[in-house]
């Protein structure tokens, strides 16, 4: 007597087990648990007809959802002028052959906006979402809007974002942009990150506590999730450190676009901090006046924080530069106010921003940069343990 004759349910369970590869990633643990339960009933000589029918129905529903998501997936198009698209074939081949890929690209190479679309082209984002992390909320919101625009869909549908206090992601979304803190918090309710079939950890070179913890966690998660694709992006000149962390993962390097840059230095005078602060603020106004005769193009001013941005904005408005719009850009602004920076406009625009505009997002139309040389940076104090 053969095994299949003695246990007719075994062959049926084996067939259903093979179908799991076409199910939603998040459904697989529950379906696997049901299959294991039915296997135990078979070993105990108990009937499994009702359980088998219920399991078959659940698997079919999950497979239908995958089919629907595949049909609804946006078809990506690319801006051929971006350097990352020149490496498109290499990135697709490497990501298809390896579980983890380290992408090293300079600021402005297009890696942040084009990588989710490359993942879509590879067939990812169907059995689960493509998760894309950003170090700052403002970057997550603006990036989601940009990708949605490039995919010709409404924000919150195929492409959504989730940051603290705001969640514009649907169950049917294919791409989810979020802060690294949000992804870290989701580990509590979803330890194996079954919501995703691909993760893009962007700006990993900033090495925040969230990013470092996430990289360590993902390394341990990989054996449990062999179907999960991970892309680590970095603008650093030493991507091999990330590669070694993920067992010598392949590194793809993308060159950035370079433009001629003229640098002018203006000394800041003053004996104490208050005098230097007043001198620094006046130096910004003087620089704006100097650039007024340089020709068209917007101005980006780097400032250390919200207070400095508000004070400088008020001073510039009183100064009344001709045909100039003054826009602040920092995290506590509403999404509507932040989005004004990315809209088309006439005349000159002065954008007052923190260092979020240095690597986390690209402000269009900028031709001149005024850098005060100051930024708020978190540091750990060994003395106070803070």
C-beta of residue 225 within 8 angstroms of C-beta of residue 192: yes
Q: What is the mean pLDDT of the chain?
A: 87
For 102, 104, 211, 276, the CA distances from 203, given in Å and listed in that order, are 11, 10, 9, 33
What local confidence, expressed as pLDDT, does residue 5 receive?
46
Multiple choice CATH, 273-371, 3.40.720.10, 3.40.47.10, 3.40.50.300, 3.40.50.2000: 3.40.50.300
Confidence band, pLDDT 50/70/90 cuts, at residue 59: very high
Domain positions in the chain: 3-72, 83-254, 273-371
Mean pLDDT of 151-159: 93
More confident residue, 283 or 4: 283
3-class DSSP assignment, residue 140: helix
Helix (H, G, I), strand (E, B) or coil at 148: helix
**pTM for the full model?**
0.83
Chain segment 104-134, per-residue pLDDT in tens: 987 778 888 999 999 999 999 999 999 999 9
Q: By mean pLDDT, which of 127-136, 188-197, 199-208, 328-337 is the weakest? A: 328-337
If one compares 86 and 320, the residue with the highest pLDDT of the two is 86
> How would residue 374 be classed by pLDDT, with cut points 50, 70 and 90?
confident
Q: Which CATH superfamily is domain 83-254 in?
A: P-loop containing nucleotide triphosphate hydrolases (3.40.50.300)
Mean pLDDT of 215-219: 95
- Least confident range of 46-55, 189-198, 355-364: 355-364
State the CB neighbour count (10 A cutoff) for residue 81.
9
Among 106, 103, 92, 118, which residue's Cα sits nearest to residue 233? 103
What residues pair up with 251 in beta bridges, in sequence order? 102
199-208 average pLDDT score: 85
Q: What is the pLDDT of residue 237?
A: 65
pLDDT band at 335 (very low <50, low <70, confident <90, very high): confident
For the segment 69-94, the average pLDDT, to the nearest whole number, is 91
Res 1 pLDDT > 70: no
- pLDDT value at position 3? 47
The rounded percent of the chain whose pLDDT value lies above 90 is: 49
Q: Mean pLDDT over residues 255-266, rounded?
A: 81
Handedness of CA 33, 35, 38, 42 (dihedral sign): negative
Say how far apart CA 363 and CA 366 lie, in whole Å: 7
For residue 117, with 0-12 CB atoms within 10 Å meaning exposed, 13-18 middle and 19 or more buried, which class applies?
A: buried
List, edge to edge, every strand of the sheet that includes 196-201: 166-168, 159-163, 175-179, 129-134, 196-201, 229-234, 100-105, 251-254
pLDDT digits (tens, 9 = 90+) for 261-315: 889 888 777 666 666 666 788 888 888 888 888 888 899 999 988 888 998 999 8
């Amino acid at each position: 007597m053969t095994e299949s004759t003695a246990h007719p349910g075994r062959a049926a369970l084996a067939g259903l087990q093979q179908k799991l590869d076409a199910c939603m990633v998040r459904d697989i643990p529950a379906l696997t648990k049901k299959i294991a339960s039915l296997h135990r009933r078979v070993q105990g000589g108990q009937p499994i007809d009702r359980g088998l029918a219920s399991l078959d129905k659940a698997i079919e529903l999950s497979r239908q959802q995958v089919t629907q998501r595949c049909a609804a997936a946006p078809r990506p198009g690319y801006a051929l002028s971006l350097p990352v698209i020149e490496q498109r074939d290499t990135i697709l081949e490497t990501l298809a052959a390896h579980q983890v890929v380290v992408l090293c690209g300079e600021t402005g190479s297009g890696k942040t906006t084009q990588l989710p679309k490359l993942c879509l082209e590879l067939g990812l984002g169907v059995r689960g979402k493509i998760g894309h992390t950003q170090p700052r909320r403002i970057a997550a919101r603006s990036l989601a809007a940009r990708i949605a625009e490039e995919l010709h869909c409404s924000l919150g549908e195929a492409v959504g974002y989730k940051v603290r206090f705001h969640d514009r992601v649907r169950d049917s979304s294919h791409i989810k942009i979020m802060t690294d803190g949000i992804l870290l918090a989701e580990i509590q309710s979803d330890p194996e990150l079954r919501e995703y079939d691909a993760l893009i950890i962007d700006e990993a070179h900033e090495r925040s506590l969230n990013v470092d913890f996430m990289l360590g966690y993902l390394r341990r998660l990989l054996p449990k999730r062999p179907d999960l694709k991970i892309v680590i992006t970095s603008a650093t000149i030493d991507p091999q450190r990330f590669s070694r962390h993920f067992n010598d993962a392949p590194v793809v390097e993308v060159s950035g676009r370079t433009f001629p840059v003229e640098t002018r230095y203006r000394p800041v005078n003053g004996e104490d901090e208050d005098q230097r602060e007043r001198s620094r603020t006046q130096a910004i106004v003087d620089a704006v006046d100097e650039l007024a005769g340089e020709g068209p193009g917007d101005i980006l001013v780097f400032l250390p924080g919200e207070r400095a941005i508000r004070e400088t904005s008020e001073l510039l408005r009183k100064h009344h530069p001709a045909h100039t719009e003054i826009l602040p850009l920092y995290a506590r602004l509403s999404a509507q106010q932040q989005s004004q920076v990315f809209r088309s406009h006439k005349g000159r625009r002065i954008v007052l921003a923190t260092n979020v505009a240095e690597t986390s997002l690209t402000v269009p139309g900028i031709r001149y940069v005024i850098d005060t040389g100051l930024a708020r940076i978190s540091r750990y104090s060994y003395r106070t343990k803070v």
